[in-house]
Chain A
Amino acid sequence: MSGFDVFAILLVLLVIVTLYSGVKTVPQGFDWTVERFGKYTGTLSPGLNIIVPFFDRIGRKINMMEQVIDIPEQEVITKDNATVTVDGVAFYQVFDAAKASYEVANLNQAIVTLTMTNIRSVMGAMDLDQVLSHRDEINERLLRVVDAAVSPWGLKVNRIEIKDIVPPADLVEAMGRQMKAERVKRADILQAEGQRQSEILRAEGAKQSQILQAEGRRESAFLDAQARERAAEAEAKATQMVSDAISKGDVAALNYFIADKYIKAFGQLADSPNQKVIMLPLEATGMLASLAGIGEIAKATFGESSASAVAAARRGGSVPSAGTPPAPPVPPRT
């Protein structure tokens, strides 16, 4: 094998190596930095790229996709001296491959450390209750601070989320008890309120019913009184009419009424179920005699004129005939 042979073979090998080092295919999602003699000169974007062999070299291969890193859990002391365990995640994206390559060493660790210290400072300024209930606010403040801090590194932090906030176990237990007590209190208050309401409703119902009853009584009493008034009026009118009739006519008409009532009352006595033996002067003459006595009183009251008028009426036979037995002639008593 001559020297030319060896040279030719080595040349081919050199060409292959040269091509390999000069032709670069950058995949989508990455940016590669180019260094000429160790100094940054440019950035290769995705696609086919050619760099000058021997002079240029690929420096860093930077992932340009949004990435998520875990923020490891750490203990944070809140403003009111409660120790909580906190962890989270951060999302960031590289916008400038050169800065991300050369402005910061160990990018991920830098972000993690920065975020952890800021979590401590943000949460340390808050009470435990605030920490537990204002997670959005914490995220927001962390994002602002960390995003501004990583800006020189050509990054943008898009989001920082606090994943878990774990207070110590005894505190959790106390919080549980507090919540339970609060619920019990609310339940008790609600129950008492319900009872109060129901009692009030019941009393109101009773009051209403009593008022209605009283009103009914009043109404009925009123109507009763009216009825009695009306009855008295009617009685008065009837009496007036009777007395008018007597003053105009025969006194015997009065006798007729009395006799009628008398006989009816007697009939009722006879109908009475527990009074079968009636000791009464049954002779009609006695009864009639008493009627005659009344007639005498009437005569004395109304005077002779009316008595004669009655006598005249009797002579004329003007006695009411309503199916009742005709009044027997009254024997003169004088």
Chain B
Amino acid sequence: MSDMFVTLGTWNWLIFGVLLMALELLAPGIFLFWLGLAALLVGLISFVTTPGWQLQILMFALFAIAAVPLWRRLARTNAAPSQDNPFLNRRSAALVGRVFTLEKPIIDGNGTVRIDDTVWRVAGPDTPAGSRVRIVQADGAHLTVTAA
């Protein structure tokens, strides 16, 4: 292994980095990308100064760990979650603001509303059946309503 490093010289890290990035594309699981990034970085440094291969490996490990918080900060500031369907798998959240007719009266804070041909239990102030309620909050399958 060390022979290979010696013969290929400083190109080792660049080749390694590119290989890792290609692997990341084939088998997604975002962590290989950072390893590749770290390898490329070590390769660039070894052009300027050539430390021992052990030190290079330590640098590689350090960069890989450091890439995570950096990348996270970058992802947070840069890529705002601009989903075109923000309510995917969050069905109840999509109901907030809509107005429905109360099917069963709200007694002691609990009643039912018929939405999309299924029954949802809602919580809110006591209201007689048949009155119109607006969904103001959705927490999982629990909907909170007020009189509309």
Contacts and interface: CB of A to CB of B under 8 A. Distances in A.
How many A residues are at the interface, by size bracket? 35 or more
Interface in A153-183: 154-156, 158-159
Contacts of A155: 141
Given A8-B57, A9-B57, A154-B140, A28 B92 contact: no
Given A48-B75, A143-B119, A158-B118, A12 B141 contact: no
Contacts of A159: 117-118
A5 to B, nearest CB: 6
B31 to A, nearest CB: 4
Given A143-B118, A148-B121, A12 B89 contact: no
Contacts of B64: 15-16, 19
Name B's interface SS.
Answer: mixed
Contact of A20 (B29, B61, B91, B112): B29
A64 B89 CA distance: 6
Nearest to B120: A156
Interface string A7-19: 0110110111011
Interface in B21-52: 28-31, 34-35
Contacts of B121: 147-148, 151
B105 to A, nearest CB: 15
B94 interface: no
How many B residues are at the interface, by size bracket? 20 to 34
A50 B68 contact: yes
Given A50-B72, A156-B120, A11 B57 contact: yes
B60 interface: yes
A322 B30 CA distance: 145
Interface string A196-217: 0000000000000000000000
Interface in B57-105: 57-58, 60-61, 64-65, 68, 72, 75, 81, 88-89, 91-92
A67 to B, nearest CB: 12
B54 interface: yes
A99 B141 CA distance: 12
Nearest to B56: A8
A46 B57 contact: no
A147 B114 CA distance: 13
A156 B141 contact: yes
B57 A12 contact: yes
A243 interface: no
Contact of B34 (A4, A19, A64, A151): A19
Contacts of B81: 47
A28 B89 contact: yes
A203 B118 CA distance: 62
Interface string A131-159: 00000000000011001100100111011
Interface string A67-104: 00000000000000000000000000101100100000
Nearest to A13: B61
B89 A15 contact: no
A23 B140 contact: no
A14 B62 CA distance: 11
Contacts of B58: 8, 11
A156 B117 CA distance: 13
